[in-house]
Chain A
Amino acid sequence: KNQVEQSPQSLIILEGKNCTLQCNYTVSPFSNLRWYKQDTGRGPVSLTIMTFSENTKSNGRYTATLDADTKQSSLHITASQLSDSASYICVVKGTNAGKSTFGDGTTLTVKP
């Protein structure tokens, strides 16, 4: 069982709509949590990085939240654009040996 679980596995929304992606993790002890956007066939690009003490972080239309008590994070995308169509990956880094655990990703499709 993966220590980082993302939901939904895939999502289709209309352009201009908002959406929220979820990431639940069991990695402990926890160092940081990152959200990446990966376009098909390309490398992941960092969206946000949050440490234990941070509850929310924004990057343009992307807002990530973190609840370290419940070990949950969400990525909220506002006013979606066609270019938001991609895979969104949640990565949790533990403090033990600093290893990162990757979620399976959520595939987002934004339709006109």
Chain B
Amino acid sequence: ETGVTQTPRHLVMGMTNKKSLKCEQHLGHNAMYWYKQSAKKPLELMFVYNFKEQTENNSVPSRFSPECPNSSHLFLHLHTLQPEDSALYLCASSQDEGRNTEAFFGQGTRLTVV
């Protein structure tokens, strides 16, 4: 266990559904991240939050909406997704966005859009 917990572990949703992914860490970290990992592709950074403020959005479609109510929790709200959005969504946290801070990853949520 890395100290970063993601729920649910698996999610199947229709294209008209609205769902949310949750990430929680009690490591005292101030930075949290959402990544997408599609089959046979490298990890793609989606969003970065530092001290609850979004500091990075890598041109992610608006059907993905992140929320960071506090430094320990991060959500990814999903609506009107497409089948190509099916992937492993990983959350990570680090002490801050500093250059040499270690990132700890959650186990991921396996999302399937049907």
Interface residues of A (CB under 8 A from B): 2, 31-32, 34, 36, 41-46, 49, 51, 89, 93, 95, 98-100, 102-105
Pair B107/A42 contact, Cβ less than 8 Å = yes
Pair B99/A43 contact, Cβ less than 8 Å = no
Cα of A41 to Cα of B9 in the assembled complex, Å: 10
**B residues less than 8 Å from A31 (CB atoms):** 99-100
Main secondary structure of the interface of B (DSSP, over half): loop
Cα of A112 to Cα of B29 in the assembled complex, Å: 40
Q: Which of B43, B97, B98, B108 contacts A102 (CB 8 A)?
A: B43
Pair A41/B105 contact, Cβ less than 8 Å = no
Pair B90/A93 contact, Cβ less than 8 Å = no
Pair B100/A41 contact, Cβ less than 8 Å = no
- Between A and B, how many residue pairs show CB distances below 8 Å? 50
Given contacts A42-B108, A43-B107, whether A102 and B2 have CB atoms under 8 Å apart is: no
Cβ contacts B69-104/A at 8 Å (1 or 0 each): 000000000000000000010101000011110111
Pair A43/B42 contact, Cβ less than 8 Å = no
Q: Does B45 belong to the interface (CB within 8 Å)?
A: yes
Q: Does B106 belong to the interface (CB within 8 Å)?
A: yes
Cα of A100 to Cα of B90 in the assembled complex, Å: 15
Query: In chain A, what residue has the closest Cβ to B88?
Result: A41
Least CB distance from B36 to A in Å reads 11
Q: Does B110 belong to the interface (CB within 8 Å)?
A: yes
Pair A46/B99 contact, Cβ less than 8 Å = no
Report 29 cross-chain contacts, Cβ distance below 8 Å, ordered by A residue.
A2-B42, A31-B99, A32-B100, A34-B103, A41-B108, A41-B110, A42-B107, A43-B2, A43-B4, A43-B6, A43-B92, A43-B105, A43-B107, A43-B108, A44-B90, A46-B102, A46-B103, A49-B100, A49-B102, A51-B100, A89-B42, A89-B43, A98-B97, A98-B99, A100-B45, A103-B42, A104-B41, A104-B42, A105-B42
Cα of A102 to Cα of B42 in the assembled complex, Å: 6
Pair A44/B100 contact, Cβ less than 8 Å = no
**A residues less than 8 Å from B100 (CB atoms):** 31-32, 49, 51, 93
Query: In chain B, what residue has the closest Cβ to A43?
Result: B105
**B residues less than 8 Å from A44 (CB atoms):** 43, 90, 105
